[in-house]
Structure 1
């Protein structure tokens, strides 16, 4: 009778341990999947920031160059009106192109509101 009782008790404890292990495994898999997803999201954000940084630097350079040419054109209007007027138009157009590049860079930074997580 004692032997039967110990065998029964042993089998109950082993089945409880198996159920606990399977729950731990499911929890571990879920946690691993969540970490991989977060790692991918972090990579995407870092990539967007890197690309936006390059685009913003290019936009600043082009806009600065364009508006500098515009200022030079304005200065030349008194002495060389034809050259000054041409530089005004070319510099203004270049400055606008640089500003458009800047706006596109800022759009890369703003990814929009975060999606709600299902918990």
Structure 2
């Protein structure tokens, strides 16, 4: 009985070392390393693009807020001083639209990154 148990333990230890002790093929390690490097590059590009877009988006929000504030003030002045109120309505609307255009430009910068990143990934997969 002891010989059977010893033989079973010896067999299991040999079998487990041959299965569990195997290393993945070097090719899969290299492809994993390349994928990790590609992901790190993507994250760095995203962070750089976000920092570039952040400035444009903040400027657009600020200008649009000022423009629409001027529009509100112009609306309030329509009852008291109609000429000044009307002028402020038009001026505030123009400034607000300008700020909105700057906001759209900031979002388009993000879309440009997404498209270039997508094109780069499809080109690398074809290789």
TM-score category by the smaller chain? Answer: 0.5 to 0.7
Separation in structure 1 between the aligned mates of residue 29 and residue 57 of structure 2, nearest angstrom: 42
Aligned-partner SS, 1:74: helix
Deviation (angstroms), 1:40: 3.3
Q: 1:67: which partner in 2?
A: 68
Separation in structure 2 between the aligned mates of residue 31 and residue 42 of structure 1, nearest angstrom: 16
For structure 2, the 5+ residue unaligned runs are 1-25
Deviation (angstroms), 1:41: 3.0
Aligned-partner SS, 2:79: coil
Aligned-partner SS, 1:118: helix
**Correspondence 1:44 to 2:50:** no
Deviations 1:7-35 (A, max 9, x none): xxxxxxxxxxxxxxxxx6x9887776665
Q: Which of 102, 118, 125 matches 1:118?
A: 125
Q: 1:21: which partner in 2?
A: none
Aligned-partner SS, 2:125: coil
Q: 1:58: which partner in 2?
A: 59
Separation in structure 1 between the aligned mates of residue 125 and residue 82 of structure 2, nearest angstrom: 66
Query: 1:1-119 residue pairs with structure 2 within 5 A?
Result: 36-110=37-111, 111-112=114-115, 114=118, 115-116=121-122, 117-118=124-125
Question: TM-score, normalised on structure 1?
Answer: 0.64
Q: 1:9: which partner in 2?
A: none
For structure 1, the 5+ residue unaligned runs are 1-23
Deviations 1:49-83 (A, max 9, x none): 11112211211111111011001101101111121
Q: RMSD of the TM alignment (CA)? A: 2.6
Aligned-partner SS, 1:79: coil
